[in-house]
Amino acid sequence: MLRQALLTLSRSDAMQRLVTGWPAARRMARRFVAGETLEDAMAACRALNAQGLAVTLDYLGEAVTERREAEAAGAMAIRILEAIRREGVEANLSLKPSQMGLDIDERFCYDNVARVLERARQLGDGQEEIFVCLDMESSAYTDRTLDLTERLVHAGFRNVGTVLQAYLRRTPNDLERMLRLGVRLRLVKGAYLEPSAIAYPDKADVDRAYVELMRILLERGHYPAIATHDERIIEATRRWAFERGIAKTSFEFQMLYGIRRDLQQRLREEGYNVRVYVPFGEQWYPYLMRRLAERPANLVFVVGNVVRERPLDWRGPAAFGAGVMTGIAAAWWWRTDHRR
């Protein structure tokens, strides 16, 4: 029921006007979203790079239904790539296939993504092209995203990779397929609410699957990204790499912007490569609400991680307060809805 409440709030124009006009809520969003403009994103890149942290940029938006929206997303992706090269920041790009038109027409989406990859190739510094990662969305997109990745690689694009979700039961087979393809992979737990026939419902099973996949990736992958804030899994990764003689520079940890900044810095100081996933754009309100709706426990996770680290600036307490208020608003909606 909380999931339904959060989804309803994400579609509420009245709530969006209320939340986006509320200074505390905007400060909360700025904790987890770099801002609304490309300039905001570049400023976040420079600040993170100054701390020794690399970046992957995500222009917010997904599941577009109009070609003009997908074309605009493709044009923005190219602007991001050009800004990365112009500013000289250590960053790459993450794209959601549904934002690039996958639900409209698969050929149209392929052409849209290929234009972005071609520009990323042109902007290479002579030694390395700018890398573009195709984000993984719900299980409804898994086959199509992997197929899209494979088609792009077979077309000659070597600067493309994708994401695998540990909680999906199918992922070991998908991992073998992608390893044969030779693409860079990001491993995540998975945040979408899926049927138990498709995904492991228990955290212990998800964690176990993640560690098994991580071990394969570290040994056989091409500069894989271990994307997690789970300190037990991070420790398991460090231990496995040490025992197997895998260099710290042969993989990277990835974490979300604004989450466990203390842990990001600690890993970097220990000599690990760390990349921060930095979303930006005007669609921050539905983005945050849908992320919470995909798995309502994310609300506790986000608030808990703000509390666990010592606030590094004035936004910390405001972020906590706004996060709590978001939870209260969702609970209030559920309570009043079920009294009718």
- Catalytic positions: 135, 186
Which H/E stretch holds residue 13?
A: helix 13-20
The region that residue 63 occupies, defined by phi over 0 for left and psi between -120 and 50 for alpha, beta otherwise, is left
Q: Of 183, 186, 161, 179, nearest to 252 (Cα)?
A: 186
Q: Are strands 273-280 and 160-165 parallel, antiparallel or unpaired?
A: unpaired
- Beta strand 252-256 pairing with 225-227: parallel
**Residue 165 is inside which H or E element, if any?**
strand 160-165
DSSP state of 136: -
Q: Is 180 exposed, middle or buried (0-12, 13-18, 19+ CB in 10 A)?
A: exposed
The CA dihedral of 32, 34, 37, 42, to the nearest 10 degrees, is -160
- Integer CA distances (angstroms), 69 to 63, 64, 65, 294, in order: 10, 6, 7, 23
* Sequence-ordered list of residues with C-beta below 8 angstroms from that of 4, at least 6 positions apart, any chain: 334
Helix axis angle for 315-337 and 23-32, nearest 10°, is 110
Q: What is the DSSP string of 173-226?
A: HHHHHHHHHT--EEEE---S---TTTB--SHHHHHHHHHHHHHHHHHHSSS-EE
Phi, psi (5° rounding) for residue 23?
A: -55, -40
The Cα–Cα gap between 178 and 264 comes to 27
42 backbone dihedrals φ, ψ, rounded to 5°: -65, -35
